[in-house]
Amino acid sequence: MPLATRILQYGGLGIPSASAISEPAYLGSIASVWHTLLDLIPDLRDLDIASPDSDRLPSLRDARRIHTRLLAEHASLRLRYKTFSEDKSSNPPSILHGLPKSLPTLSSLSSSSPPKAQSTFSHVVHHSAWRDLYNSHAEAFSQDRNLVRLTAVAQRGATDFHRAIPSRPDFAIDSEVMLFATQRQLGLPLSCLAGITDLPSDVDPYGDAAINSCSDHSTRHNHLTTCWATALRRAHRRKVHQEYSLSSDCRADAVIEHFHGRNIHQVFETKLVNPLSSDGKPYNANAIGSAFAGSVPRMQAEIHAKYDGHLGRHRKTDLIHEVFGGISPPAYKFLFNSGCAMRSRDRHGGDPSDPESELPRTPDKDDSVPWAARSFLSSSLQAFSISIHTKVAEQVFAFAKTHRQSHGRSHAYTSSQRGE
């Protein structure tokens, strides 16, 4: 329970702490008004905001102190993540990709307001909190499942289902599924398995082994693939096929026809993996610090073997997800570029009704991430996350129901077991 509380405080359920981001908010407010103040008060132009001379103004003194601290913290995080990536795997978990490459300088505030300044500084605070939480439990948990789960729930996209507003049918999530997903995110015993004292040896109260051993993975895999096909059609307005045959013994999960030129398709292979094995230990003991560092290379090796000699001129992207909702960096990158392509197509006058029209697939180099791309990206990540958590919950619910019925007990559980 203490670990669950710490994750919640950090924001593991997508709930940011107002007190934790107070300093980034302060810098963000300074960034948004300083260049305007210089126009209103010309005498301030002689004051270098980044120099010790600014200490004469308390607000600037505090801004310089906070900025210096965040710069040092940012440098420390980048060094830690670089070492982590080199030591663990060539495929670091996607949480490492959310750290900004650089922070706005105080001097730059004199000419303009940096875009999303508060968000940029907030990333440093959130990553620092995650690192401290990880380090504080690494020695105590060692090879324990909780350390793997802590990394898994911090992956990009893992908790997006909590932020989905159910205004669309595919964004609605049953309350029991929400309870199930939240308990899994926090590493708590599942209410749906409460009271079952004779669980099989390959099932545990957290549902991890039940997902691996007692359910058919094809159901959740196929539903996730359908979600991807829907997103790809929305972004590219091209022919997207599922279960596409490349040869007599090789079928791709999905393809976008002629994406890279005539008869050169974009091929997709979808994988949904569990970073915990049936006994609760990670697949790769050397990659304990990263669920994806263990599961992505393993899945990539399987995918490579499947397509060896069958890909031809076509190009392939691996869409690897975890049962905790996270998305791997290659899949996220393709999704991001798809959102930018959708915006570029509309801006350059592409015909949205013509699926064969040539459309730009990458944003202009000097173009910031457009609103349409962010909207597409966030809604798609939420759809993937909801699909994964819902299908995993349904399979564990089905196992619990079948087990209770086979032992002559009612499969329904009380409101107190549901956590109401």
pLDDT digits (tens, 9 = 90+) for 30-42: 888 888 888 888 8
* Pairwise pLDDT comparison (234 vs 364), residue with the higher score: 234
- Report yes or no: 406 and 400 within 8 Å, Cβ to Cβ: no
Helix (H, G, I), strand (E, B), or coil: what is residue 315? strand
Enumerate the H helices of 239-367 as residue ranges.
291-307, 329-347
What pLDDT sits at residue 215? 55
Q: Which residues pair with 317 in a beta bridge?
A: 268
Tell me what pLDDT residue 47 has.
80
- When the pLDDT of each residue in the chain is averaged and rounded to a whole number, the result is 75
Q: Are 419 and 179 in contact (CB under 8 A)?
A: yes
pTM score: 0.77
Residues 93 and 156 sit within 8 Å (Cβ to Cβ) = no
| Average pLDDT estimate for 307-334 | 89
Output the six-digit token pair for 188. Answer: 């708590």
- 222 phi and psi angles, rounded to 5 deg: -70, -35
Task: Give the start-end residues of each E strand in 101-227.
Answer: none
Q: CA 281, CA 287: separation in Å to the nearest integer?
A: 11
Residue 182's nearest CA partner among 396, 387, 3, 4 is: 4
Per-residue confidence (pLDDT) for residue 355, from 0 to 100: 39
Tokens encoding 64: 């310089």
**Paired tokens of 302:** 């399987």
